[in-house]
Structure 1
Amino acid sequence: MSARKKSPLVLTLGEPAGVGPELVIRAWQARAGENGGPADLPAFLVVGDPALLARRAAQLGVSLPLAPCTPEDATDLFSDALPILPAGPKATAEPGTPDASSAACVLAGLEKGVELVKARRAAALVTNPLAKSVMYEAGFRFPGHTEYLAACAGGPEGLAPRPVMMIWSPLLAVVPATIHVPYRDVPQLLTVDLLVETGRIIAQDMACRFGLAHPRLAFAGLNPHAGENGTLGREDEEVVRPAIAALREAGIDARGPLSADTLFHPEARENYDVVVGMYHDQVLIPAKTLAFHDGVNVTLGLPFIRTSPDHGTAFDLAGTGRANPASLIAALRLARRLADEEAHHQPAQPAGKPAGEAS
């Protein structure tokens, strides 16, 4: 392969009975500006069952030339055919109706995708949504993609890295410090160490992958009005504020705790690069309200780049031809941007103290 040729992205099909296969087809149709798509759509290689894609294309009335190939050939083939690397068993699921083939097909695609990015035969991994209930029935022991990918990534002495979920769009980037947990458990799960580690991972990836040498992190308070100096709960004073102080001491521009109800209007968004929320809905509701079709799920903290559409399997839309590929296209474009930035990234000098802070 030519040294100048970029490695393609690798894209999984996700749940075979969901909208993933259809989104893959629609995204490929959007290459080079076709059907109103972005002219700069990056080349990608699909991993999964070619027969599933061919069947779904026929159901949608789409002419879809498929090109079984290796990653090294995918970029050259992309303009004329959809590159695909067969992986796993045949998927028999029909749109909206998952069956026993779904979990095995999804896992095989994930395993192959991780293998390719770890071997640097692909520039980044982009995953279509899986159905957790289907995976759990098949013995899948992880809460979702993120935890599975962290386990696959490995690390020193076999320790998995700690992944951090970011929802990114051109308008807003947010990170929930706690993710899929009941709201009643959040105060007990929030610790200084958790927030400091989360902030460090965000700052590192925003620098080396997003090209922001000194990212600005705004921490939302847990309680209304960030606790009103402890009168509306002590968590913001005893957990959030000490974590911010530790991050600032480490040279990271961390701000807060800030009242969440005034963090998301346009003027406020000019003052930070990422909002760190204390729980899932605190930051995902504004993120999805502002950019539902353009939001991208980005996993920070992994040794490879992973993005995903910011939506689920949408069984009700599968096979109807009405699924919107905008979030997948945004995930592909962002994955390419992050891979290119990381490839050119040079280690930055240690960050100084945030502007305005005394030495």
Structure 2
Amino acid sequence: MTGLDAHHSCVALTAGDPNGVGPEIALKALAALTPEQRNRVTLFGPVEVLQKTANVLHLQDVLHSITLVSAGEMSTQFHVPGKVDPVAGRSAIDSATAAIQACRRGEFDSVVAGPHHETAIAQAGIAFSGYPSLVASVCEQASDSVFLMLVGGGLRIVHVTLHESVEISLGRMRTELVIAATQAGVMACQRLGVSTPRVALFGINPHASEGTLFGEHDVNCTVPAALALNQTGLSVTGPMGADVLLANHATQPHDLYVAMFHDQGHIPIKLLAPQGASAFSIGADVLLASTGHGSAMDIAGKGQAKPDALLRSLRMLLGIASVSPSTAAVS
């Protein structure tokens, strides 16, 4: 897997949930690109909604300057900014699916997906637990072979488990899954230009179980995972308590952290980069990035949404921005 090319990488961008801020931030992010950069982005989404949004934002020239693919089509009668609607939920999935399929066919190098709304998708009757599960499904891979990596606030964190209860996560936690998530994270770092990433594993229990004082989960799972990963030539620290590793990041930084559960990884990223994080679905043939924030229904249609996180993802995957996660906002 090679690094991203600053002059030739092409990206499929999707509008996300049409009733959320997705269409707005997609157009604002495109407006922030140069004409040459914009030429390497194709926008997938409901045409009528995008045209309506462009008119409201006075960005008709931006919409007319790009390639637009009709996907997740939805008439303006269903377009009610801020409303959680199954039609909008299905639109978000359909446009993302079309973009992923196009990327699989070799038409694009990667996908940047607009923010979705999980309740709207559930109301549409679609089984969905985040973009990693969708990427796995479209790429015909096992659901536990695609992982989420958040980038922002000076951190890159890949998650071994994601949208499930801690009880279910513990039931699935095994050495092989930790190894797979770590290897996917390393490959994603390499694609983003970090050739030899330094990796740190969070423990499952506090203090990585303090031996076996707090249980045997780590000695049976993360400890052998770290040993096996180091034997492959990777530079892996841990397992250690997540609090200790993150507290020492300023003086003993790692390029990639491996979180065992959703909150272990999401809390530090959301604290340091609440609106500026990028979310990568990694481990599949298709590299997909999205925003670390949701569809922001409370400000949808008000023209207040900032495109920083989406623009950061676009710039990284176009190969025109630093891959360093050191800042949360787009410069």
Q: What is the CA-CA distance between 1:321 and the residue it aligns to?
A: 1.3
SS at match of 2:319: helix
Change (3 A) 1:199 1:212: same
Q: What is the CA-CA distance between 1:7 and the residue it aligns to?
A: 5.1
Q: What is the CA-CA distance between 1:134 and the residue it aligns to?
A: 1.6
Partner Cα distance (1:338, 1:57) in 2: 25
Partner Cα distance (1:286, 1:50) in 2: 37
Counterpart selection for 1:107 from 81, 85, 93: 93
Partner of 2:60: 64
Q: What is the CA-CA distance between 1:278 and the residue it aligns to?
A: 1.4
Partner of 2:282: 300
Greater C-alpha Rg: 1
Partner Cα distance (2:297, 2:218) in 1: 40
| 1:248 partnered with 2:248 | no
Counterpart selection for 1:131 from 95, 112, 117: 117
Partner of 2:327: none
| 1:21 partnered with 2:31 | no
Partner Cα distance (1:203, 1:8) in 2: 22
Partner Cα distance (2:267, 2:49) in 1: 34
The CA RMSD over aligned residues, in Å, is 2.8
SS at match of 2:221: helix
Q: Is the 8 A contact 2:86 2:123 kept in 1?
A: no
**Residues 178-327 of structure 1: pairs in structure 2 closer than 5 A:** 178-207=161-190, 209-265=191-247, 267-268=249-250, 270-327=252-309
Change (3 A) 1:197 1:31: closer
For residues 78-105 of structure 1, the C-alpha deviation after alignment (integer angstroms, 9 at most, x for no partner) is xxx2431222433432100143531342
Partner of 2:140: 154
Q: How many residues align?
A: 316
Q: What is the CA-CA distance between 1:299 and the residue it aligns to?
A: 1.2
Partner Cα distance (2:156, 2:186) in 1: 13
Q: Is the 8 A contact 1:210 1:338 kept in 2?
A: no
For residues 3-60 of structure 1, the C-alpha deviation after alignment (integer angstroms, 9 at most, x for no partner) is x972531111111100101111211222249xxxxx9778421112222112123334
For residues 284-309 of structure 1, the C-alpha deviation after alignment (integer angstroms, 9 at most, x for no partner) is 11112112232100111111221001
Amino acid in structure 2 at the alignment position of 1:184: E
- The range that moved more, 99-108 or 21-30, is 99-108
Larger relative contact order (CA 8 Å, sep ≥ 6) = 2
Q: Is the 8 A contact 2:159 2:181 kept in 1?
A: no
For residues 223-275 of structure 1, the C-alpha deviation after alignment (integer angstroms, 9 at most, x for no partner) is 22222222122222222111111111222222111121122236456431111
Q: Is the 8 A contact 2:150 2:277 kept in 1?
A: yes
TM-score (norm 2): 0.86
Structure 1, unmatched stretches of 5+, are 34-38, 69-80, 342-359
Partner Cα distance (2:152, 2:120) in 1: 29
Amino acid in structure 2 at the alignment position of 1:166: M
Change (3 A) 1:27 1:232: same
Structure 2, unmatched stretches of 5+, are 1-5, 324-331
Share of identical aligned residues, percent? 27
Counterpart selection for 1:83 from 62, 67, 83: 67
Change (3 A) 1:63 1:142: closer
Change (3 A) 1:103 1:265: same
SS at match of 1:272: coil
SS at match of 1:254: strand
